[in-house]
A and B are shown apart, each in its own frame.
Chain A
Amino acid sequence: MDRIPILRMGKFLLVTIQIDLYDRLATNLESDLVQMVNKTEAKGVLIDISALSIVDSFMGRILGNIGSMSKIMDAETVVVGMQPAVAITLIELGLELKGVHTALNVEKGMELLKEKIASDEEPPDETDEDSTE
């Protein structure tokens, strides 16, 4: 069975989708990713879809699912590299890609993930830790 490789990079998981996914491959990716998040305790998932020429409602749902499932497992998901024609089509189709963050490219996506995690992990300075609550 074909699989989309998931790379681990520090606290993040990286996925680059290089081919148009048929359904089975997409659902495999969904479950593989959630298991990897659990196994590696990843705090972020970055999915590069720059090679995808279309995102239909099925693929949109898969991306949304990955986002929501990862969220429950305490990891943020960012989808990067969407082609402009795909973005135009998604909006006209009525898909909003809820539950995932988006960024223009891998670099910006990584920055976004780092910011998200920094703000999660480092609650305000010790000084106001006692005063709150």
Chain B
Amino acid sequence: MASPPQAPPLHRIAAPRISAEDVVVFCDFFYKKTGISMDASRRYFIDKRLEDRMAANDCNSFREYLSLVKFQPGGAEMQALINEMTVNETYFFREDYQFACLTRRMLDEIADRKDPRRDRIRIWSIPCSTGEEPYSIAISILEDWPRASDFDIEIIASDIDTRALARAREGIYQARALHRVSPRIRDTYFRKLDGENWQVVPSLRESIDFGVINVSSPTQMARMRGIDVIFCRNLLIYFDDLSRRQTAEHFFDALNPGGFVALGHSESMSRISNIFVPRKFPEALVHQRPLP
């Protein structure tokens, strides 16, 4: 005979208190683990998410929770914490002038240095969040780059947030994420699931290689080599100067000579590092690893 259902514990009633000192300790710890600089003044944002994670783990104090995150074998709670603390709001064809720059300028330059019988073109979207960016890149290439069928093109998409990656692989979006998608493109690359939701067609979903990369992990970043274009938009704004510089250096190593980095419109590589050469195309300013 089955046991009667039990009421869930009332965690929310007595949420553990988090002090200002705890927040400072947490921000320092989170920065060391992820490179992301949390602003300790955003107390509501941080407290709310920490309290949720502490309650989910039945931790009665911040100290207890921090011990769990630091020493748990496998790091599942660290990943859950990262998932809570990262922001994943985006939409298709956001800052699409950079995709126009990709298909009108960057890809031709890259293709001219490659042999289509032997060489692939490799594009990396980081952070890819819930997938809108890598899918937008793929659609832009298929629609707007006349030489797309001449080359093998690989799109790699990574994020630190495993929950966002799961959603990206699933490829289901509400209509508001598609507000910049024309009806023709929508009907070509999406299937309507119901009144509110659309799903990316299987062939496009299967063409993107999604996976976890923590930018602040040199080991994980070292796996990325031979990339031709990196889209890293609106990530570095969360980093401090040193982490930005380290990330720029990782990107340099990941790129082939002549490869490009596209940053968000409010980010400036010249303030981070002089290791790249600025390339001002009519559509966008991007940053190039110098050719030998």
Chains A and B are bound partners = no
Q: Give residues in A with beta carbon < 8 Å to B.
A: none
B interface list, Cβ under 8 A from A: none
